[in-house]
Structures are given as C-alpha cells and as structure tokens.
Amino acid sequence: MADGGYRPIRDHAIIGDGRTAALVTTDGTVDWLCLPDFDAPSVFGSILDSQHGGSFTLAPAVPFQSHQHYTPDTNILETRFTTSTGAVRVVDALTLPNDRLCGQRELVRIVECLEGEVPLAWAIEPRFGYGARSGTPADAGPAAVWRDDVDALAARSWELGAPTWHGGATWAATCRMHAGQRGVIAISWATGEPLVFPTRAGVEERLLGTEQFWKHWAGERPYAGPFREAVIRSALALKLMIYAPSGASVAAPTASLPEEIGGVRNWDYRFCWIRDSAFLIDALLRLGCREEARALFWWFMQATTLTAPRLQVLYRLDGSDDAAERTLPLDGYCGSRPVRIGNAAVDQHQLDLYGDLFETIWLYAKGEHELDRDTGVRVADMADYICEIWRHPDAGIWEVRGDARHFTHSKVMCWVALDRAIRLADEGDVPSRRVDRWRAEAAAIVSFVDEQCWSDEKRSYVQHAGGESVDASLLMLSLMGFGGNASPRVMGTVDAVCRELRRGPFVFRYLNEDGLPGSEGCFLNCSFWLVGALARVGRLDEANALMTDLLARGNHVGLFAEEIDPATGAFLGNFPQALVHLSLIDAALAIGEAEQTSQGPKKGKASA
C-alpha cells in the first residue's frame, strides 16, 4: 500500500467500454471512473484524493492475497482473492449495450465463491464533480440512487447481502459467501434522461456479449510476429482508449497522476494529441483495424478544420479546441499537488505536429484510402503554411514551458510534413502545382538540421540548434526515415542517446530541461523507441534483449504507465499511457521486419 491509503499506480488494471474507463486495484477498489465519458468529471476519484474522491470497494472482510488477470483476449478483469477459509473471484467489466434496455454506462461486478467460505464487504461512495459533491442519495425500489443535477447513478445488487446507507451517501453491505454462490452488483448511469434499473438477467447477458465482442476483436488481429502476447494486450488497451462516438483517442484515461511523487508535473491526458494519432493510425492499419483507423483519420481531419492551417497541440474528444487548464482542491495522489484538469499545452506552438499530421495522412492514403478533392486542397494549403513557419522556434515535443527553441525533432518533423506532401502529390492525392517549393524548403530543412543541429564532438544530432545535449526524441529520426537508417549520423545519434540518457533498460527523455522544479522518472516510450531504433539500424540482438527486459517491467496485467522510477520500478504518471503501448507495438513490428530482412521469413512467424 502506498502512503495515505493510495495503491501503487502499477497495482491497477483498466476496464472500459470505448466511452469511459475505470481503474481497478488489486485489492478490489474502483478508484477512478469518469462518467459518462473519459473527459467528464470523476464519480470515483479516490486515486487523486483518498478521503474525498469517492470509490467503490469490494473485497474479503478478512486478510487476503489477490491475483489479477484479464480473461484471455478481452478487457474483462478477474481478481481472485484467497483467504484462510476460502477463495472468491471477482469479474469486473464496463459492459457494451445490447438490445435490452440499459443505462448509458454500466459497471458490472460479479462475485463467485470458488471454495470454502469467505466474508465479503463492499461499499459504493460516489462523489460527483471531481469529489466536490455527494449527490442526493435515495432508495428507489430495489435500487439505490444518487442524483446530481441532471446526472443520476443507480446501483443494484443480488445475493451480496442487504445493503444499507452509511454516513448519508455510502451504500454498503457485508455478506458471507459459500462455495458455488454467485452474486452481482451493477451500476448504471444516465444524463438528462430516465435512469434504467437493470435486471440481473440483462446484466449477465450484456457481460457475456461484452466478452464475446472482445474475443472476436482480438481474434481478428492478424499479427503473428515476435512478442505477440504483449502486442495484443497493448492493442486491447488502445482499443479501450478510442472514444467510440467520434473515433478520437485519449493519450491516457487519467488525469494528474504525478511524474514525481510530491512533484508538480501532474497533467491531464484525457485529450487527443496529433502526434499520438500518427503512431495510432500506423498501428491500427498494421494490425488490421481499418474501421478504427478510418474513424480516427476523418475525426482528425474534421477537428483540424477548426484551426487550419494552424494546428492545435490537442483537441477534445468531441473535436472542440477548448482545454483550459485549472486546478482542483484535491490532495493529489500521495499528496502530489496541484491536481490539474485541462491542459495548458493546448496554447503552445509545436512544429512537430505538422509532421505527425502529414505522416498520418500519408499512412492513411497509402493504405488504399482515397483523399477527396477538398481534403487534398486543404493538405496542400497546410504544406504551404509549413514552408512559412518551419524557421520559427517552438515548444517542442516535450511541451517545454519556457523559452521557445529551434528543436531538432521539430525541424525534422517539418521535413517529414513536406516529404509526405511531395509523396502525396506524386500519387495524385493532393494538388502538385506547388511541389517545387515544397522540395526546396524540404532541402533547406535538411541543410539546417545537418549544419545547425549536429555536434562533431558528440558525433550526434543534438536536442536543439546550437546545443550540445541530446534527447530521446532524436531516436525518431530512424522511424521517420530522416537521413537513412544506415547513415553514420543516425547510428551515431543512437549511440549518443545510449551513452547520455540510458540507465540500464530505461531511457530518460532529456536531462531536466523543461523549466520546472523537481525531477521525473524515465518515459517508457523512449525506451521502446530505442528498441525500434536499434532494430532499424541492424542491431537486432540488442533490440531483442532490450525488448525482453522492458516487457518484464510491465505490471501484473501487462500494462505500462507513462514513466517508471528506474531505481524502484514504481510506475509514475498517467496510466495506462497510449504512447507507451503504441511504441511497444512499433518496437515489436520493427524487430519482426528487421528479422525478415536479415534472415528471410521464418516458418510460423510473420509480421502483420
């Protein structure tokens, strides 16, 4: 147990329905759930304030040991609790709707006594508006109801004791379960419409349908390359983070989990970043998820029309551009304050986004998806805009909150944008009348990077023009094809990142240059970027060894947070982190492709 009643971040698993997600601890507590959507206020938020955030606890009332795993090829969670007198299994899911009447969102918890006899205790304590209000509790026939303005939450239980009200707004019960006994709790939600009280038969039917959906979805992924189990688990986690109504994806389903315990780097990641989408489009297409890739692509093209030709760093899941940052009066995870919602990075100038967007467009178009004429014109106009702005300094990929600089990665991504625009023009997907200018400006960017962002002393590209330090974003040069993977400069840059930023299997993103006090852990996506870079420059043995080591650092259900403390292995930052799992998938694909190139296809082993 972490300090003050907080479970370690790595002791969590995620369940979800493509609209919102819940975190469930190894001791059976739901300590994070926003309703009705990812970016709505939390109803259970004790991960950010153990006293006032709200939670849903369910566990044996006596000392126990627990083991948690997912039902194979699903996002349905199973937790086995073993006591001195018996064992129970708890199955947790956010169910998917079917043709039976149900609430807008439904959290289901099934309890089965596997052997012996186990005393059980559970309690539902919602807190609306990020812990601000208890709501108005009431009995409604067989259900408990909490109302908060137009929002309403209902709970029903079957064969899990006789629940009563405690402390005004907590609905709780104890019971003694015997071998073969099965109980159910279901929570349903409604906003601005009648609240539905589910039936037990309906709940169990939806749970079965949800399991069948996940198994079918996982079974359709054609990937059979190296590290398949980790790739499929990452794909399932990413599918949870795609907002089904729009096709957008969150960077993480959580907000303000700290990058340093007690520190100030506490950010809200429940938004859609353009740079994540480039990775996600690539992963979706290569894993056979064409429907999801199409939805995400057209969502992004629609969202970016709001600010075109300027790109915003992030967008809300409904495509709007409002993400004003504010702080909440919560204690924070293990006392880490401030607790922020919204994200001030929305107002930053980040040039790399243009490369990410053009990479996304290129990947989508070459996947045999045609661009319509109007979209092609918009893309050409944006390429012209990049020709005008690439010489400007910016905040960079790490969203530095200080003076703008000429970041190498940002310049390279501007080159990526123009390079992909040229390719799109050559394929007839965008108007080609200005392609000569794009070629000239792309060549100018290459000259700038080679002359201003290269260190003869380090034999490496550096973080920004005129600097001497490196950062992990330089590993993406090999992914984006800048300079050629076999070039001495790209290989030298990989070596420099290893020398200066690698600590064992972990890679720091930079040497604390973001203008904020305190420190942070290692960004795990940087470590997986190194795996991909090693594979692409032909160092397969190193790539495989590092990949194996990193996968062993995941938590008990194969998930990763944004960062890790290299000394203790503790997870830090928001969880689970989409970019980390996307980088994991890319690393596995890079290894598979490099193995095929160097050795030829192997029997029973093929890439997607």
**Residues 23 and 127 both lie in one domain:** yes
The token duo for 162 is: 């006789």
Q: Is residue 449 part of a domain?
A: yes
227: left (phi over 0), alpha (psi -120 to 50) or beta: left
pLDDT per position as a tens digit, 73-84: 999 999 999 999
Last residue of a domain, one of 188, 217, 246: 217
pLDDT at position 196: 86
**Residues 193 and 320 both lie in one domain:** no
The token duo for 326 is: 């504010």
The token duo for 296 is: 């995400």
The residues facing 255 across adjacent strands are 268
pLDDT per position as a tens digit, 251-308: 999 999 999 999 999 999 999 998 888 889 889 999 999 899 999 999 988 888 878 8
Q: Is residue 464 part of a domain?
A: yes
Query: Minimal CA–CA distance to 334: which of 29, 83, 608, 53?
Result: 53
Average pLDDT score over residue span 10-29: 98
CA dist., res. 195 & res. 151, Å (int): 9
pLDDT at position 3: 62
**Residues 538 and 564 both lie in one domain:** yes
**Residues 185 and 300 both lie in one domain:** no
pTM of the model: 0.95
Share of the chain above pLDDT 70, in %: 96
Q: Is residue 72 part of a domain?
A: yes
CA dist., res. 348 & res. 110, Å (int): 46
Last residue of a domain, one of 217, 238, 266: 217
Inter-CA distances, 93 with 205, 429, 568, Å: 12, 43, 31
Choice between 235 and 305, residue whose per-residue pLDDT is larger: 235
Q: Is residue 532 part of a domain?
A: yes
pLDDT per position as a tens digit, 160-184: 999 999 999 999 999 999 999 999 9
pLDDT per position as a tens digit, 190-213: 998 888 898 999 999 999 999 999
Q: Is 250 helix (H, G, I), strand (E, B) or coil?
A: coil
**Residues 194 and 231 both lie in one domain:** no
The token duo for 407 is: 């970041």
Q: Is residue 605 part of a domain?
A: no
CATH classification of the domain holding 19: 2.70.98.50
Q: Is residue 607 part of a domain?
A: no
pLDDT at position 388: 96
Inter-CA distances, 304 with 312, 320, 357, 395, 441, Å: 8, 9, 10, 19, 23
The residues facing 602 across adjacent strands are 605
Last residue of a domain, one of 217, 251, 282: 217
The DSSP secondary-structure symbol of 26 reads: T
Q: Is the pLDDT of residue 601 over 60?
A: no
Choice between 146 and 302, residue whose per-residue pLDDT is larger: 146
CA dist., res. 502 & res. 479, Å (int): 19
Inter-CA distances, 199 with 156, 164, 443, 445, Å: 9, 20, 65, 63
Q: Angle between the 228-240 and 578-599 helix axes, to the nearest 10 degrees?
A: 150
**Residues 322 and 196 both lie in one domain:** no
Grade residue 512 by pLDDT with cuts at 50, 70 and 90: low
Q: Is the pLDDT of residue 607 over 50?
A: no
User: Picking from 413-427, 507-521, 564-578, which range would have the lowest pLDDT averaged per residue?
Assistant: 507-521
Q: Is 273 helix (H, G, I), strand (E, B) or coil?
A: strand
Which range marks the domain in which residue 164 is found?
3-217
Q: Is the pLDDT of residue 101 over 90?
A: no
Grade residue 608 by pLDDT with cuts at 50, 70 and 90: very low
Q: Angle between the 408-426 and 373-389 helix axes, to the nearest 10 degrees?
A: 150
**Number of other CB atoms surrounding residue 310 within 10 Å:** 13
**Residues 78 and 196 both lie in one domain:** yes
Q: Is residue 25 part of a domain?
A: yes
pLDDT per position as a tens digit, 466-501: 999 999 999 999 999 998 878 999 999 999 999 999
CATH classification of the domain holding 390: 1.50.10.10
**Residues 504 and 361 both lie in one domain:** yes
Is there a contact between 497 and 507 (Cβ–Cβ < 8 Å)? Answer: yes
**Residues 211 and 239 both lie in one domain:** no
Contacting residues for 185 by C-beta, under 8 A, at least 6 apart: 58, 108, 109, 111, 122, 124, 155, 156, 157, 158, 160
Grade residue 311 by pLDDT with cuts at 50, 70 and 90: confident
Q: Is residue 329 part of a domain?
A: yes
Which helix (DSSP H) or strand (DSSP E) does residue 464 occupy? none
Q: Is the pLDDT of residue 514 over 80?
A: no
pLDDT per position as a tens digit, 397-442: 998 877 899 999 999 999 999 999 999 999 999 998 899 999 999 9
pLDDT at position 310: 86
Choice between 516 and 418, residue whose per-residue pLDDT is larger: 418
The token duo for 283 is: 């992963």
**Residues 109 and 239 both lie in one domain:** no
Domain count, the chain: 2
CA dist., res. 88 & res. 118, Å (int): 7
Grade residue 604 by pLDDT with cuts at 50, 70 and 90: very low
- HEC string of 64-88 equals CEEEEEECCCCCCEEEEEECCCEEE
Vertex 409: Cα angle to 381 and 313 (nearest 5) = 55
**Residues 139 and 175 both lie in one domain:** yes
pLDDT at position 600: 55
445 CB-side CA count, 13 A: 32
Contacting residues for 549 by C-beta, under 8 A, at least 6 apart: 504, 505
**Residues 204 and 275 both lie in one domain:** no
State the chain's mean pLDDT as an integer: 93
